[in-house]
Amino acid sequence: MRRKIIAGNWKMNKSVEESAALATDIVAAAKKAGDLQAEIVICPTFLALDRVAQIVKGSPVQLGAQDVHFEAQGAFTGKVSTDMLKAIGVTYVILGHSEQRTFFGETDELVRKKIGKVLAEGLKPIICVGETLVEREAQKTESVVKSQVTAAYAGLTAEQAQTTVIAYEPVWAIGTGLTASDEQAQEVHAFIRGLLTAQYSANVANTIRIQYGGSMKPDNARGLMAQNDVDGGLIGGAALKADSFLAIVTAA
């Protein structure tokens, strides 16, 4: 049985103070909810990670970063290392987000290098894949997702693969209010699990969690997560308010 995982991707939103306030509300709500089945992760801006780390300490809420560099240290202006993240208690790192791929030229090769570094350092990558609207309309969803997944897992052992989380995020659904239907999501999630089965085994593939991302909200979360291969959500907009985020956690 895969434990569902709900991760809030706060993107470039919220100051340090605002992040601390939101984290405080989420931790309080998670504690009040008591025995939550789902794993909860929040991913604030780098600037707020240290502060938010103090707030989530000892709570069921885990901390994630939105990116990392693949080198250990040195002359990489503007970048953050895995050691820096580990030192403040980060567990997860979002990699290959479509906004990184589209706006900042992140390639499959770069994503692969970052995944290698993150795994080598004992952190857990949330690996984002997904097709654009043009690609979906041209019936290229499977080929696009296949090439992203294949590149991401190239050379990873089964043991390493089992520490990863995949986020299937159709680019046309991110921040647009459009959501993949339950069936569209399930179809691609099952396809991804098939790729992992082919590379590893059904046993290994069955332990890897595949989140859905792209306008997941309290009112569509339940249907999406009821699908066999949808193991949680990577949430943008709806993660910026404690009540909507927690409603999705509860749905999980």
Q: Are 237 and 11 in contact (CB under 8 A)?
A: no
> Where in the sequence numbering do the catalytic residues fall?
97, 169
Residue closer to ligand PGA (CB basis): 11 or 193: 11
Q: Residue of minimal CB distance from ligand PGA? A: 236
Distance CA 75, CA 83 (A): 15
Cβ 232 to ligand PGA shortest distance, Å: 12
Cβ 7 to ligand PGA shortest distance, Å: 8
Residue 94: CB atoms within 10 Å: 24
Distance CA 86, CA 18 (A): 23
Cβ 213 to ligand PGA shortest distance, Å: 4
- Give the N- to C-terminal CA distance of the chain in Å, as an integer: 13
Cβ 60 to ligand PGA shortest distance, Å: 21
**Collapsed DSSP state (helix, strand, coil) of residue 232:** strand
Contact footprint for ligand PGA (CB under 6 A): 9, 169, 174-175, 213-216, 234-238
**Token pair recorded at residue 41:** 């992760």
Handedness of CA 127, 7, 117, 70 (dihedral sign): positive
Handedness of CA 120, 145, 207, 175 (dihedral sign): positive
Beta bridge partners of 41: 7, 62
